[in-house]
Amino acid sequence: MSARLLNKRILLIVGGGIAAYKTPELVRQLVKEGANVQCLLSKSGSEFVTALTLASVSGNKVFQNLFDLTDETEMGHIQLSRNADLVLVAPATADLMAKMAQGFANDLASTALLATDKPVMIAPAMNVRMWLHDATQRNLETLINDGIAIIDPNEGDMACGETGPGRMAEPSEIMEAVAEALVPKGPLKGLKALVTAGPTHEPIDPVRYIANRSSGKQGYAIAEAMAALGAETLLVSGPVNLPDPSGVRVIRIETAVEMAAACEEALPSQIAVMTAAVADWRTTLPAYEKIKKQADNTPLSLELTENPDILAGLANHTHRPDLIVGFAAETE
């Protein structure tokens, strides 16, 4: 099963309700689907779940205090929310919903929410009487009008002993709502796309290699665009200094032979876009140790072997992609 949220960045704001104890499981499910989850733990939320627990399941630092200069130096509160593809508030307490509706910004959670320009989704959780109160319903209507996505609370027994609506949705339900919001539904949905990018490095010895000049930027941009259009996208990348594109699974290789094997393994795919600058030749027998200069300046002689034609291999394969696009760098 593919990771539906691969490389998606989610800022999870944990409000101060008893339902906060469910957030480690929510984080675990999001991470399992490939998401990069950054947790922001409110002061009241820390009464129900620890920063250490959230850091352990997310693999990331947990932010807590608006006025913590260490946190602000590493990542300001504005950047914290702008870096996300989605801001998720779970649990969203009556107090936090009121702050959001009125535009308050007196702590890290409310400040990050007011500063964000990214989609926001909330999972309300509170006592049934608080949920049904006119003030909460007015705030809810305001948030909906502001474009905030609401994951409706469930009905059931409350920690306070009452029964009714107000229980936070289960982690699996929140997970599905997030996936529904972030997984592309474009014209390429249901198709598999293979993209290659970057150079290949063909070793001469442990220090030197043969390569073509390539930044990989074009292939990375194409892969991200494919994913945004709904395709299940695999990027086979040579050595480049670029972050993984959002929603794209990346396989990193070094040589042309490794790239050819990775591309064949990716079949069947309906689309293949080959932007990689693959070296045409490789050394037949790379040296195991660094080749030293000769005292008498004897020229270095290298025996080269032609690398496989990856594009031709795909075109002639039993599971040939329906669409193959090739790129070539020329001098004229």
Please report, for residues 54, 108, 149, 172, the alpha-carbon distance to residue 68 in angstroms, rounded to integers and kept in the order given: 18, 10, 30, 33
| Cα dihedral 160, 163, 166, 170 in deg (nearest 10) | 90
Enumerate residues 6+ apart whose C-beta is below 8 A from 98: 104, 135, 136, 139
Sheet holding 120-124, edge to edge: 36-41, 9-14, 86-92, 120-124, 149-150
Structure tokens at 133: 């109160």
Enumerate residues 6+ apart whose C-beta is below 8 A from 267: 194, 314, 317, 319, 321
- The verdict on whether 160 is a catalytic residue reads yes
Burial 270-301 (b: 16+ CB within 10 A, else e): ebbbbbbbbbeebbeebeeeeeeeeeeeeeee
Residue in 144, 159, 160, 323 annotated catalytic: 160
Q: At what angle do helices 134-145 and 94-102 cross, to 10 degrees?
A: 50
Catalytic positions, please?
A: 160
